[in-house]
Structure 1
Amino acid sequence: MTASDELLAAYDAQLRTDAETPSALTVKHLGPLRLVTFSGGRGFITYQDLAGADRAQIERWVPEALDYYSQNPAIAKVEWKTRGHDHAPGLHEALLANGFIEEEPESIMIGAASALAVEVPLPEGITLRRVTKDADIRAMCAMQDLVFGEQPSAEYADAIVARAHRDPLFELWVADHAGEIVSAGRLEPVPGTDFAGIWGGCTVESWRGQGIYRALTAARASSALAQGYTLIHSDSTGYSRPILERYGFTKVSTTTPYVWKR
């Protein structure tokens, strides 16, 4: 096996379990599928693999899984998380036929936490910090929503605040300038594994290209390393992938979300 193969095998074995959804309210099993419900009216479908299912079986699972969520009026949005290395005949077509919309693929990146935990110079006036107060968390969530092209969501902010209160390992990091949050990201260590995830990384457009995202990533990696996590994983956009590659991270596969909205 190559180093990339070994990292992908570790990803599949350690992360594609209940460890993937620590903040789930409920989990229902449908064959190998895990139908997860989160707070804020969000559904999420994932699995370790599809157990060798053929096209006909997959075509039956997709509407059955969607029916589970559509019967719950509290569910407004469902994401089906696919991975590029899975054997999933007919899944793309079945998802589209049942009203899911394919979103942009991202790269699954894995690398050593020690490679990221480096000193990164910051622009003048920029400060990095971990946030724990509700007001700071809500301000961070609103900034992320706007950067990702969405209206600020009180439901999303409520879910992140609740998670922060409930999970002591869950860390929220921001970069400030003159009291304004200009970059942010989460660190999610996965207990019982070698991995910590870095998620939600984004920077206000006018502050991009100045090393702030790299510095925020380094801070999160340092925190993970201090807690004994040796590997970092991330689903990366075309913006963040080159940054991680410069630190020796490997693209082991791709992930593409398919989203259904009520």
Structure 2
Amino acid sequence: MNAAEIMTQFNCYERMHIEIPGWEIYSDTTLVRVVSPDEDGSFIAYFNLDSSKASEVIDQQMEYFYRLGKNFEWKVYDFDKPSDIDSMLLNKGFYEQDPESFMVLNLRDYNSVPELQPQCVEAFDERGIRDAIAVKQSQTVEDCSGYFLHLLNLKQTCPENIRIYVIYDGEQPVSSAWVIFNSVNSPFAGIWGGSTVQTHRGRGHYQALLKQRIRDSILAGKHYLYIDASEMSRPIVERYGFTVIAKTTPYFYRHPDIN
């Protein structure tokens, strides 16, 4: 795969023309801003800024979210401009998170559809989604309530755009993940979550969830499946054909009045 070509398509379909029901989206030729109805979850989806104006634009976004009383994320990919925006964000008080590998799988390389993974139980209601988020919450100190509200909203308003899976040990949720289809016109699907509780790792749960979401994406007619992979996930998804396209680093602005 040509990394630059993939990134151009990804920017067009998944960043510049992102759709999230119930969320406010502002878009112009240089920036796309997505505003969550909650304190958390808002983000800058896309930007292509002139280096001489970048600092001013960052200030404008910080002021905008400050007035709203919301936190927001500014994710940077290797191909984004200006190339020094990382240092600009840090100098303005953003918090840098661990960098991840933006990886893409060409689904058209699959000669057959992966088998159904019966241990992956699809979550359709609030209880199932809470179980999915409980797994993620157990692996981080980050408050995951915003993820719950986002997934619940998607499942209630556009159920065809998301599939959420949980693997159980008896009644205990031990692994979870989800796949999102942002737009009918987009050739991409994105996989998220991918968490397993410490006591149940090494049992193939992550791979089962991965196979199930590859299956869903092929059946949905998508051409590409992408993931922001951690260092733990990267070697696993590489075995399934995912290729590194870029490095991506999230930067967070935390509103001073929000704990």
Return the alpha-carbon distance in structure 1 between the equivalents of residues 5 and 28 of structure 2.
29
Return the alpha-carbon distance in structure 2 between the equivalents of residues 94 and 186 of structure 1.
33
2:66 is aligned to 70
Which residues of 2 match residues 179-198 of structure 1 at below 5 A? Answer: 179-190=171-182, 191-198=184-191
Return the alpha-carbon distance in structure 2 between the equivalents of residues 3 and 158 of structure 1.
36
Question: Which one of the candidate residues 236, 243, 262 is aligned to 2:236?
Answer: 243
Matched, 1:22 2:20: yes
Which amino acid in the other structure matches residue 25 of structure 1? Answer: W
Question: Which one of the candidate residues 208, 212, 224 is aligned to 1:215?
Answer: 208
The answer to whether the 8 Å contact 2:136/2:195 transfers is: yes
- Provide TM-score, normalisation by structure 2: 0.87
Question: Which one of the candidate residues 146, 154, 165 is aligned to 2:138?
Answer: 146
Return the alpha-carbon distance in structure 1 between the equivalents of residues 204 and 38 of structure 2.
33
Equivalent residues, number: 250
Q: Give how far 1:152 is off.
A: 5.1
- Provide TM-score, normalisation by structure 1: 0.86
Distance verdict in 2 for CA 1:9–1:254, change over 3 Å: same
Unaligned runs of 5+ in 1: none
Q: Give how far 1:178 is off.
A: 0.8
Return the alpha-carbon distance in structure 2 between the equivalents of residues 59 and 214 of structure 1.
42
Which amino acid in the other structure matches residue 150 of structure 2? Answer: A
- Deviation larger for 217-226 or 126-135: 126-135
Distance verdict in 2 for CA 1:41–1:64, change over 3 Å: same
Paired-residue identity, %:
26
What is the RMSD computed on CA atoms of the aligned residues? Answer: 2.3
Return the alpha-carbon distance in structure 1 between the equivalents of residues 39 and 225 of structure 2.
29
Structure 1 stretches of 4+ moved >4 Å: 114-117
Distance verdict in 2 for CA 1:204–1:117, change over 3 Å: farther
Which amino acid in the other structure matches residue 242 of structure 1? Answer: P
1:167 is aligned to 158
Question: Which one of the candidate residues 113, 116, 123 is aligned to 2:107?
Answer: 113
Return the alpha-carbon distance in structure 2 between the equivalents of residues 58 and 4 of structure 1.
25
Q: Give how far 1:31 is off.
A: 5.9
Distance verdict in 2 for CA 1:194–1:31, change over 3 Å: closer
Unaligned runs of 5+ in 2: none
The answer to whether the 8 Å contact 2:115/2:215 transfers is: no
Distance verdict in 2 for CA 1:108–1:24, change over 3 Å: farther
> Which string of whole-angstrom CA distances, capped at 9 and with x for unpartnered residues, describes residues 116-151 of structure 1?
95359x9xxx92111102111112212212213334
Q: Give how far 1:37 is off.
A: 0.6
